[in-house]
Amino acid sequence: IYEGRQIVSKIEAEIRHQPYEIRSKLTESFVKLRNKFNNQQTQVRYYRDCLNQNRWWNQGSRNMNNSDVKITINDSNNSNSDDFDHRDQRQKLLGTKQIISETDQSLDRTARVLSETTEIGIATSAQLVQQRESLLRSRDRLKDTDSLLDRSKFILNRMRRRLMTNKLLQGVIILLELFIFGLIIYLKYYR
């Protein structure tokens, strides 16, 4: 029972440290297992108490047999009813022992299920840690990509400004050449 309680408290602590989505699923199955464990624990206590009472009863009857008590013939009917009570008590005791062994087996199964649940929780936790690390690496790569895109955008804007400046300068030069060409023609032919 003590080991079962320890396992239950460890599993409960593990479940508290899980993410919300997993914690809700694990908590649901854990509550069922814990209730089953508590019921079995109560049964074990009850049967243990019954077993202790039967032992006390059997020890008391042995002490009476070992003492110097003399049974008279008139008490033979009482003796038969006592033997019947002893047999009845013995049958109850055997039944109680069987129930205790079945409860022990059930507790063992519950402990195995709790152990398996713990292993599943640990494996899930390890997977979540790996996924978290993968997401963090992806986020870092996205930040690097974002900074590269910002730098590329800045460079493209500078190139666009230079291109516009070059086109404007070419336009001014062409207009200046046309003006000079027109001035030369005017001076040569019209003057």
Q: What are the pLDDT digits (tens) for 33-55?
A: 788 878 888 888 887 777 777 65
Q: pLDDT band at 144, cuts 50/70/90?
A: very high
Q: Is a pLDDT exceeding 60 seen at residue 163? A: yes
DSSP letter (8 states) at residue 74: G
Q: What is the largest CA-CA distance in the chain?
A: 171
Instruction: Report d(CA 15, CA 18) in Å as an integer.
Output: 5
Choose the weakest-confidence range: 86-95, 104-113, 118-127, 155-164: 86-95
Q: pLDDT band at 140, cuts 50/70/90?
A: very high
Instruction: Report d(CA 61, CA 59) in Å as an integer.
Output: 5
Torsion 88-89-93-96 (CA) sign: positive
Mean pLDDT value across residues 132-145 = 92
More confident residue, 30 or 78: 30
The helix or strand, by DSSP H or E, that contains position 160, with its residue range, turns out to be: helix 76-189
pTM of the predicted model as reported, rounded to 2 decimal places: 0.39
